Amino acid sequence: MPEKKKPELRRSVTPWGSFAWGYSDVGADIFVGLGLVLGAAAGASNVAFLFAGVVYVCIGLAYTELAATYPVAGGGQYFVMRGLGDIFGFIAGWAVLLDFTIDITLFAWACVDYLSQLLPALNTTANPWPHFIVALALVLGLLSLNIIGVRESTAFNGVVSALDIVSETTILTLGFLFAFRPEILIHTMQTSWPSSNDLMLGISLAIVSFVGLESISQAAQETQRPASVIPRTSVALILTILIFALSYSNLALGMQPWHPIPLDAHGHTQALWHWLGNGDNNGKAVALLAQQVPYFGAVAAFYVPVLGAILLLISSNSGVFGSSRIAYAMSSAKLLPSAFQRVHPKFRTPMVSLVAFVGVSVIELFFAALPSLDPAASALYARWFNGESGLGFLADLYAFGAATSYSFVFIALVALRLFDPLSPRKFKMPFNIPVTVRGERAEFPLVAVVGFAGIFAILLFTLKTHPIGRIAGPAWLVVGIIIYLLYRRNKRLPILGSQRHDWRTQQAEILRNAGELELMDEYLANLKASDERRAQAAAAP
């Protein structure tokens, strides 16, 4: 009897579906990041977004090349494991898991913030308990849906993404036509320039607005003709998000000036306040900005909070689904205990992974809400963590996880370029230097070096300016590494080394399953030619 073929993920994601996968995740980030960056970087918010945007373009190009070359589920964790080895693949995956758990909490929290525009009873400052309870209910509801197996469809993602793109384009177009004043932008940048520390803080928060490209690579194994589709959709997503982020930051700075306010009862010290950058508003900045647009604000006041809340809820759900998927993949690769591969006997979903990492997100939600729920905790936060808000706490960890994971991805891309030059790259990052490694022609990617320098700088900014992030982020990595070492030792697997992987056979199978038969043939021809050259070199006197 012939061996039954192992079930595989169905390749049903179209080019627009691939774009919608990414946009439904990264497109929601500006709804959260805009107010946070304005509150930190003040008149240099656009500069903070520009710095993070340049790094984001490099990250996007790296993920596009890697996902098109290695179209499998797993994303950055798989790329790093393949390029650098098991332990580094674990660290990158564990950092991504941190971001996925933050995705769940951060976007559920922000979803309630946007709903509070229409339902003041959910305002986090005036009514912290209702805000916390609703956010917790959303998280637990998404957990239940994912255990049962219900998840947002690609079609629904596409509809919401299209509506949001039209909405954001309308806001920006009418805003620049009727509300933007260049003299206010220049005045704000001149009079409200932040300190170096606040600018670094703003840059580290700005990267929050660009996290989510992982979603396209996660869906690569379900994308039709990924080597052709992913480059087109990724480049379109990169440009869309970059334009939106830079436009929103400049529009916000050019609509209303910053105003000085006293910081104490005697008015001895002054601070600069912006209508989108204070504690009450920074979680719903896009909705508030839309309200100020002439001829459009009255309508936007009702539908932008709802559309934003839906987009944020979808992004929260992508965190639930993504965390379970990557934990399952890491367990399959023997980077995590096999318990994370266990599935529900009825619903056939990875229940252990879902419950474990949604549980982590609930703990994060509790610590984020604690300062507003308990005055004593608020005093401790003020003393130990510079009075950081709940949204700031979540952004701390988000920035740390993203910067850590992306740093390893850039290194892995360089390693794969040098030591796996035979894999066909239908899309390749520009600006490369030809080199020869082990007798094979390769290309050294200069853009990856620029991207690594930028994201590593953001990681350093995060550690310097985020009092919670520099403690909780490294602590998360330490706990993960301990789990990894104990697991590998118990299973008698290489602790610091890697298992044996037949990457050649695996790559050919990846391309075959992706339907990229021409690339598979090219890869096999490259391998044959390489083996013949080596045989000739070995036989030469």
For residue 270, what are the contacts with CB-CB under 8 A and spacing of at least 6?
A: 260, 261, 262, 263
Residue 500 tokens read as: 């044996």
Output 283 or 320, whichever has higher pLDDT: 320
SS (HEC) of 329-358: HHHHCCCCCHHHHCCCCCCCCCHHHHHHHH
Output 103 or 469, whichever has higher pLDDT: 103
For residue 112, what are the contacts with CB-CB under 8 A and spacing of at least 6?
A: 122, 124, 131, 134, 135, 138, 309
Beta strands in 167-300 (DSSP E): 259-262, 270-273
Work out the pLDDT band at 382, boundaries 50, 70, 90.
Answer: low
Share of the chain above pLDDT 90, in %: 45
Residue type, 412: A
Work out the pLDDT band at 384, boundaries 50, 70, 90.
Answer: low
Q: Per-residue pLDDT for 183 more than 80?
A: yes
The pLDDT value recorded for residue 283 is: 64
Output 389 or 276, whichever has higher pLDDT: 389
**Is residue 367 included in any domain, yes or no?**
yes
The pLDDT value recorded for residue 270 is: 38
| 40-54, 98-112, 181-195, 210-224, range with the lowest pLDDT | 210-224
**Is residue 325 included in any domain, yes or no?**
yes
**Is residue 176 included in any domain, yes or no?**
yes
The pLDDT value recorded for residue 21 is: 65
Work out the pLDDT band at 263, boundaries 50, 70, 90.
Answer: very low
Count the domains in the chain: 1
**Is residue 5 included in any domain, yes or no?**
no
**Is residue 212 included in any domain, yes or no?**
yes
| 137-141, 193-197, 339-343, 388-392, range with the lowest pLDDT | 388-392
| Centroid of chain to Cα 186 | 31
**Is residue 534 included in any domain, yes or no?**
no
Domain coverage including residue 407: 16-260+272-525
Output 389 or 208, whichever has higher pLDDT: 208
Q: Per-residue pLDDT for 313 more than 80?
A: yes
CATH number at residue 414: 1.20.1740.10
Q: Per-residue pLDDT for 416 more than 90?
A: yes
**Is residue 314 included in any domain, yes or no?**
yes
The pLDDT value recorded for residue 150 is: 54
Q: Per-residue pLDDT for 4 more than 60?
A: no
- How many residues in total does the chain contain? 541
pLDDT in tens, 187-204: 889 988 999 999 999 999
Average pLDDT over the chain, rounded to an integer: 84
Residue 525 tokens read as: 């021809």
**Is residue 124 included in any domain, yes or no?**
yes
Work out the pLDDT band at 389, boundaries 50, 70, 90.
Answer: low
The pLDDT value recorded for residue 26 is: 79
> Nearest 5°: phi and psi at 435?
-140, 165
- What integer is the mean pLDDT of 106-114? 92
Give yes or no for a contact between 398 and 102, defined as CB atoms under 8 angstroms apart.
yes
- What integer is the mean pLDDT of 291-299? 88
The pLDDT value recorded for residue 255 is: 87
Q: Exposure pattern of 199-236 as b/e (b: 16+ CB <10 Å)? A: bbbbbbbbbbbbbbbbbbbbbbbbbebbbbbbbebbeb
